[in-house]
Chains A and B, each alone.
Chain A
């Protein structure tokens, strides 16, 4: 493998020149560049969230008197958080950095393709950021429903091309990762000894490869309709408005599992490491939990269209299939709790984030049930209740998993330890902030407040609650700053990290810190007894 040999010839060490980073084909550096991009997207999109919350903090115009400006903030917040922060942080940063190390490979199967996928992603970020430069920024929300996205004076093409770039990047990355997992495992690493994170990444990329083309079709036809005069979504000429919503959610519901799977996979790995315990009922978690989610993810999308005007029978059918998703998700929860049972739990910062995840995901998952019940959803659909649901279950829970993973991998990536005190302070403030914000949002939604509202003159009684939500948003902002400070502090002043500070059995911790080019001085040889979760008596 020519490219891998080239990677091996790279100088060891952290990479001192910009050139070394820009032209890198080393999966670890590519992973870190993904991380930098996604954290930058998180910062800008987070700032937008704060502006949105300040605007809603009191009745009437607050920050801007132009609802159009607010709509652009909201568009950017949603689209960037999903497309430029969460998916790339999970399937770009974590998958790239960890999968080759976890399976004992020297690099990805196609290192140059990996660099392509990275730079497509960065192009996507830059395109997304141009939102703030062009005179007619997109204002179509992350869902881009026509006919609004066709009639708006906003530049829908920027939305479409951002989706294209992120989609290409993900397809290229997916082909690379699946090949790597199937063909580049260390000798003796059988499939039933893969880390849960590797399994869940595999599931996520299968979903991406199957469903992204559908999203691409949806947004591309949008482009054709708007700029080339086709009539896919124009009922006056035989088109159909609902076609788009179906195509969009046929991808975007599975996309929430593209986010969930690597998230929960990382949580399994963190919990197993800090509980020094085997993963409870490994086969149930992999085949029942991850496999179940992958298989069921394509059969529930109508739950986003309960009020759209779809036929009654399909709404009933997908109410049932959506409720049944609680089975694989429930099995994953049982697997997590079982992994705590008779463990020896050590409360480091990453473990606190994992525990935080469990509670957030529990609340988010359970509030999916009212959304799933068609009749109940006829009232709460498109209210803040749904916004609260998906922030708990996805937005915030996954952010906890990503932050926890950054702390978890910090010693391995940088060769330095972060400060536990700073890390823990950041965690507790963040946990308080997100609960103040998003729990209150359930109440506001339950009282009937629709989402994507610039103002709420018709609900003046909700101003007090909105005020509380905005205070929560400030607290989240402070926590995010503290977390950033703790990372910078660790980078500059952190103690030198040992190779395996957590005492993990998993392969990524068996190599030196930071791992050399080519990952392992000598490729690991795995015995019959070895298992990534082979702690204690369960060896």
Chain B
């Protein structure tokens, strides 16, 4: 069941989808959608409020009688219009969600353990780091996470991803750092005193630099 939903993919296999780009695009589309609805309702409301203000003392409303057909129509037709918009948005949202959940093949896998109030990264080579996650540019990265104590949430605003981590369960998210640079990690689930200070950095470096770093760290560990 889970698989069927998560892997109902779009695009050619092997191609890495642009998730943050997709998010920005869908958010923009959705913003246009709700702005149109909002303006429509606002204009109608303002019109009604001005047009039907009371002109004289003791005046009462004078609405036409609603026939049964009209009454049913006024329920069914708007319901279907709303439903159509809901399904349109749901379809778009589903597609993007699948991209979020489908980890590209050959992704570089890092383990993260959260604890009050820091992040502990464990690389497949056996190297470890605290607070700073180093990854190579040009390779998708999947982060498998859990927590030592309470619920935290691994949030990378730049990559538009967020996933809670908690004791007793393993969760994941993935992102695709295309170019060298730095990206903030910040905790998004209330975890006590230093919740707002529970931050970290993703350092994206070139593949060569990354390999060197791993080698140096390995040596440091051995000595």
Q: How far is the CA of A347 from the CA of B167 in the complex (A)?
A: 56
Q: CB of B193 within 8 A of chain A?
A: yes
Q: Give chain A nearest CB distance to B221 CB in angstroms.
A: 29
Docked complex Cα distance between A458 and B183 (Å):
11
Interfacial chain B residues near A240, Cβ < 8 Å: 168-169
Please tell me if B160 contacts chain A, counting CB pairs below 8 Å.
Answer: yes
Task: Tell me, rounded to whole Å, the shortest Cβ–Cβ distance linking A29 to chain B.
Answer: 34
B184-195 interface code vs A (CB 8 A; 1 in, 0 out):
101111111111
Interface size on A, residues (CB 8 A): 88
A343 to B155, CA, bound (A): 51
- In the complex, A323→B88 CA distance in Å? 10
Pick the contact of A320 from B5, B37, B90, B161 — CB < 8 Å?
B90
Q: Is A113 an interface residue (CB 8 A)?
A: no
**How far apart are A378's CB and chain B's nearest CB, in angstroms?**
5
On whether the beta carbons of A307 and B164 are closer than 8 Å, the reply is: yes
Q: Determine if A145 and B151 form an interchain contact, defined as CB atoms under 8 angstroms apart.
A: yes
Pair A375/B96 contact, Cβ less than 8 Å = yes
B151-184 at interface with A (beta carbon < 8 Å) = 151, 153, 155, 157, 160-164, 166-169, 171, 184
- Known contacts A278-B63, A312-B101, A327-B82, A345 near B53 by CB under 8 Å: yes
Residues from chain A with Cβ under 8 Å of B184 in the complex: 458
Q: Would B192 and A71 count as touching, CB distance under 8 A? A: yes
Within 8 A of B (CB), among A334-381: 334, 337-338, 340-347, 355, 358-359, 362-363, 366-367, 369-370, 373-376, 378-379, 381
Q: How far is the CA of A316 from the CA of B191 in the complex (A)?
A: 27
A151 and B149 in contact, given A71-B192, A278-B63 (Cβ under 8 angstroms): yes
**A281 adjacent to B75 (CB under 8 Å):** yes
CA distance A274 to B22 in the complex (A): 47
Determine the chain B residues whose CB is within 8 A of the CB of A455 once the complex forms.
196-197
Q: Which residue of A lies closest to B187 (CB)?
A: A450
Residue A483 CB within 8 A of the other chain = no
| Distance (whole angstroms) from the CB of A272 to the closest CB of chain B | 9
**A367 to B48 alpha-carbon distance, docked (Å):** 24
Sort chain B's interface into a size bin. Answer: 35 or more
Also in contact, A383 and B74, with CB within 8 A (given A343-B61, A344-B61, A366-B34): no
State how many angstroms separate the Cβ of A153 from the closest Cβ of chain B: 9
Q: How far is the CB of A457 from chain B (nearest CB, A)?
A: 7
Q: Which of A71, A319, A453 contacts B94 (CB 8 A)?
A: A319
B114 → chain A, closest Cβ, in Å?
Answer: 12
Q: Which of A471-479, A511-519, A531-539 contacts B (4 or more CB under 8 A)?
A: A531-539
A537 and B49 within 8 A (CB): no
Could you tell me if A366 and B190 are in contact, using CB atoms closer than 8 angstroms?
no
**Separation in Å of the A447 CB from the closest CB of chain B?**
8
B69 CB-CB contact with A under 8 Å: no
CB-based contact A347/B53 at 8 Å: yes
Q: Contacts A67-B193, A241-B169, A337-B48 given: A381-B162 contact, CB under 8 Å? A: yes
Residue of B nearest to A278 (CB): B63
Contact A338 B192 (CB under 8 A): no
Cβ A316 vs Cβ B169 within 8 A = no
A240 to B44: give the CA distance in the assembly, Å: 49
Query: Bound complex: CA of A53 vs CA of B204, how far in Å?
Result: 36
Do A275 and B61 form a contact, CB below 8 Å, given A241-B168, A324-B86?
A: yes
Contact of B163 among A309, A355, A366 (CB under 8 A): A309
B166, A277: Cβ atoms closer than 8 Å? no
B107 within 8 A of A: no
Measured between C-beta atoms, what is the minimum distance from B142 to chain A in Å?
15
Q: List B contacts of A319 (CB < 8 A).
A: 90, 93-94, 97
Is A284 part of the binding interface, using a Cβ–Cβ cutoff of 8 Å? yes
CA distance A145 to B189 in the complex (A): 10
Question: Would you give the shortest CB distance from A484 to chain B, in whole angstroms?
Answer: 28
- Bound complex: CA of A442 vs CA of B37, how far in Å? 18
- Interface membership of A236, Cβ < 8 A: yes
The listed residue (B48, B71, B90) touching A281 by CB distance below 8 A is B71
Chain B residues with CB under 8 A of A67: 193-197
Decide if A327 touches B151 in the complex (CB within 8 Å): no
Minimum C-beta distance from A360 to chain B (A): 12
- The CA-CA distance from A538 to B171 in the complex, in Å, is 59
Residue of A nearest to B195 (CB): A452
Distance of A486 Cα from B96 Cα, bound (Å): 52
Is B75 a contact of A288 with CB atoms below 8 Å? yes
Question: Which of A148, A280, A343 is close to B191, meaning CB atoms less than 8 Å apart?
Answer: A148
| Residue in B closest to A366 when the chains form the complex, CB atoms | B34
CB distance from B43 to the nearest CB of A (A): 11
| Residues from chain A with Cβ under 8 Å of B79 in the complex | 288, 327, 330-331
Let me know if A316 and B94 touch, CB within 8 A.
yes
A37 to B167, CA, bound (A): 40
Q: Are A312 and B97 in contact (CB under 8 A)?
A: yes
B222: Cβ under 8 A from any A Cβ: no
Q: Which of A152, A276, A345, A373 contacts B30 (CB 8 A)?
A: A373
Q: Are B89 and A345 in contact (CB under 8 A)?
A: no
Q: How far is the CB of B139 from chain A (nearest CB, A)?
A: 21
CA distance A320 to B66 in the complex (A): 32
Given the contacts A309-B169, A316-B94, A366-B34, A152 and B151 also touching, CB distance less than 8 Å: no
Report the Cα distance A276→B58, complex, angstroms. Answer: 9
Residue of B nearest to A447 (CB): B157
Q: Is the CB of A535 within 8 A of B60?
A: yes
Chain B nearest CB, measured from A27 CB (Å): 31
Closest to A75 in B: B190
Q: Is B78 an interface residue (CB 8 A)?
A: yes
B5 to chain A, nearest CB (A): 5
What are 30 A-B pairs at a CB distance below 8 A? A67-B197, A145-B151, A147-B166, A147-B167, A148-B190, A148-B191, A235-B167, A307-B153, A308-B164, A308-B166, A309-B163, A311-B1, A311-B2, A319-B97, A327-B79, A330-B78, A337-B41, A338-B74, A345-B52, A355-B49, A376-B96, A382-B155, A450-B186, A450-B187, A451-B190, A457-B197, A457-B199, A458-B184, A503-B58, A538-B63
Since A307-B162, A346-B53 are in contact, a sample of 14 more A-B pairs with Cβ atoms closer than 8 Å, ordered by chain A residue number, is A67-B197, A147-B167, A241-B166, A281-B66, A283-B75, A309-B171, A320-B87, A323-B90, A340-B49, A342-B62, A379-B161, A450-B155, A458-B186, A537-B61
**Closest 8 interchain pairs by CB?**
A235-B168, A277-B61, A448-B157, A536-B60, A453-B196, A373-B93, A375-B96, A323-B86
